[in-house]
A and B are shown apart, each in its own frame.
Chain A
């Protein structure tokens, strides 16, 4: 394939152009034209705010489910996907069966976060989204570590179907897990897993109501 080349020549200036003054004047003409047109391209920031596109990647938001609860199941996939290790999660059992998990602690450190959006891409239950806010000033470092209470926004609703094990199990069987021997089975299966989690020892036994 022959390469198309465009050879550029240095322009030859006429004697008129060589007289500095006309060039200065023609330059001034352009700037004065802009001045007279008076179309400022800047905006008066705190008073005026720029309109952001739909995909803008701002400070994270946690949408609410149908019951107005946090959707996160503490699967820690966002923590894994984060290239800067900005997310830290501690899980706890969300229900008496010890099947569902929810975050006990969900922190994003905005001193590390680079707003790449990989956490949102990784989230398998639409519990995390990129929001529209970007003002992140703080007087101290602690103020830049946001918790789940800050992210959670009950006004943002998510209608993505939930896919946790209990939900699918109930849907598939068409029955609830309330009979005593079923609970025992689940306890046997998941007990070892729950204990291996890094949870503080002083928390209450998640199965306390199972035996009662």
Chain B
């Protein structure tokens, strides 16, 4: 693969008639609104053509991976909210699943918790895709589609708020299951959402899918071939838009995804329009999964009975000395997974998010490494926009749907 120069030399060409031609360097970002955060792209321009685009990252670096080495496994959870903050519930669930795998307690998680996590995960996916499509359309001038997307996202936030207690920084599931049972009206509000949402999705589709202007701006723009996409390690809609049917939910199922009936949408063109089509279809598939999960939502315990890992019930903590001691030990020292290392991947809305955890047998992770989908997907940007117009860079960033909170971590 071609090496991307960090600081490039000026390309100066002396023409036959003695005039000089050189490329212009243009900093796009970090304050540019279409860079979805604080991404800076150094564009080398020949007129309005992009000769080379080099993304510079790190403006939002907080050192989450290092911070997590100094706190217990449980305390890492709020940090995962702040990586991909568009779909923080998905990050949370991914982290919790990784911890459960590290502890070797995947089989003891109650069915109710698993199904609830699937519902929340798919709601997070819809929410993220709404933002992805909405902001992509906004950057290309379609304001109303953005507003309708955000209106629906608000509904999902309301659901998350009733379940988790927070809209954006959910910090909801715990290792072993759910900290609190789903609220009584959960099924009702989700079913209500399922009733309303397809109408808005249809509206957004009718605004964009067959819109000549939208097609002109996205079709054939920011193309990446299937081979390049695989070589660069793209995942999620960015990979499926190029025709590779890879979905972690199908490849290595977690949370019982193998029991749900859904399809993996694939388009072969690999342009911005294909990725848009994939996202829309994925939302339809997510709705299908939520319907199935709600129908099969079992009653029963919502957290596993694991005295070494899960906090005792509050009632017992208030009244029983043994429970109180156990409560203190778990909060103070955290649960202690056996020494070893695991890697667990989930299909985040933006691609494959995987956590790599090393345990040295203590209550704190020895190392936590996050493989974020946005970081890897962004690598395709240079390749996509080479030879394109400046305006297509905006379409490319929007169609990749990157979140800088996760890239910089």
Question: Which residues of A line the B interface, CB within 8 A?
Answer: 1, 3-11, 13, 17-20, 23-24, 26-27, 30-31, 34, 41, 52-57, 75, 77, 80-84, 114-118, 121-122, 124-126, 130, 160-163, 168
Per-residue CB contact flags for chain B residues 135-154 toward chain A (1 = under 8 Å, else 0) read 00000000010001001001
- B278: which of A1, A8, A31 is its contact (CB, 8 Å)? A8
With known contacts A5-B245, A23-B212, A30-B144, A124–B164 Cβ distance under 8 A: no
Once bound together, how far apart are the Cα atoms of A54 and B183, in whole Å?
A: 9
Q: In the complex, are the beta carbons of B77 and A30 less than 8 A apart?
A: no
* Most chain B CB within a 10 A radius of its CB, from A30, A83, A168: A83
Chain B residues in the interface with A (C-beta under 8 A): 71, 74-79, 144, 148, 151, 154, 161-166, 169, 171, 179-180, 183, 203, 206-207, 209-213, 215, 219, 245, 247, 250-251, 258, 261-269, 273-274, 277-278, 281, 285, 311, 314, 317-319, 321, 324, 327-328, 331-332
Please indicate the chain B residues that have their CB under 8 angstroms from the CB of A9 in the complex: 267
Give A18 to B219 CA distance when docked, in angstroms: 14
Q: Which residue of A lies closest to B76 (CB)?
A: A83
Could you write out 13 A-B pairs with CB less than 8 Å apart? A5-B263, A5-B266, A17-B210, A23-B213, A24-B213, A27-B211, A34-B148, A55-B162, A56-B166, A80-B331, A82-B75, A114-B169, A160-B314
Q: Is the CB of B162 within 8 A of A53?
A: yes
In the complex, what residues of A have CB within 8 A of residue B278's CB? 8
**Cβ 8 A contact of B166, one of A19, A30, A115, A121:** A115
Q: Is the interface of A mostly helix, strand, loop or mixed?
A: loop
A154 to B321, CA, bound (A): 28
- In the complex, what residues of B have CB within 8 A of residue A54's CB? 162, 183
Say whether A57 contacts B212, CB under 8 Å.
Answer: no
Contact of A27 with B324 in the complex, beta carbons under 8 Å:
no
Q: Which of B75, B263, B269, B324 contacts A81 (CB 8 A)?
A: B75
Query: Of B164, B166, B261, B318, which one neighbours A125 at CB under 8 angstroms?
Result: B318
Q: CA separation between A189 and B239, bound complex, in Å?
A: 67
**A161 B144 Cβ-Cβ under 8 A:** no
**Which chain A residue shows the least CB distance to B142?**
A27
Q: Is the beta-carbon distance between A124 and B264 smaller than 8 angstroms?
A: no
Q: In angstroms, how far is the closest chain A Cβ from the Cβ of B373?
A: 19
Q: With A11-B210, A83-B78 known to touch, is A53 a contact of B183 (CB < 8 Å)? A: yes
Q: Which of A53, A118, A163 is the one whose CB lies under 8 Å from B324?
A: A163
Listed from nearest, the 6 A-B pairs whose CB atoms lie closest are A83-B75, A55-B165, A6-B263, A53-B162, A57-B165, A116-B78
Residues in A neighbouring B162, C-beta threshold 8 A: 53-55
Q: Which residues of B contact A160 (CB under 8 A)?
A: 314, 318
A121 and B79: CB pair below 8 A?
Answer: no
Determine the chain A residues whose CB is within 8 A of the CB of B71 once the complex forms: 83
A8-B277 in contact (CB<8A):
yes
Report how far A81 CA is from B239 CA in the complex, Å.
40
Could you tell me if A30 and B207 are in contact, using CB atoms closer than 8 angstroms? Answer: yes
B265 closest partner in A (C-beta):
A6
Q: Are B331 and A57 touching (Cβ within 8 A)?
A: no
Residues of chain A within 8 A (CB-CB) of B245 are 3, 5
- Does B179 contact A124, Cβ atoms closer than 8 Å? no
Q: How far is the CA of A80 from the CA of B74 in the complex (A)?
A: 12
Would you call B144 and A124 a contact (CB within 8 A)? no
A81 to B78, CA, bound (A): 12
Please determine whether A17 and B212 come into contact, CB atoms closer than 8 angstroms.
Answer: yes
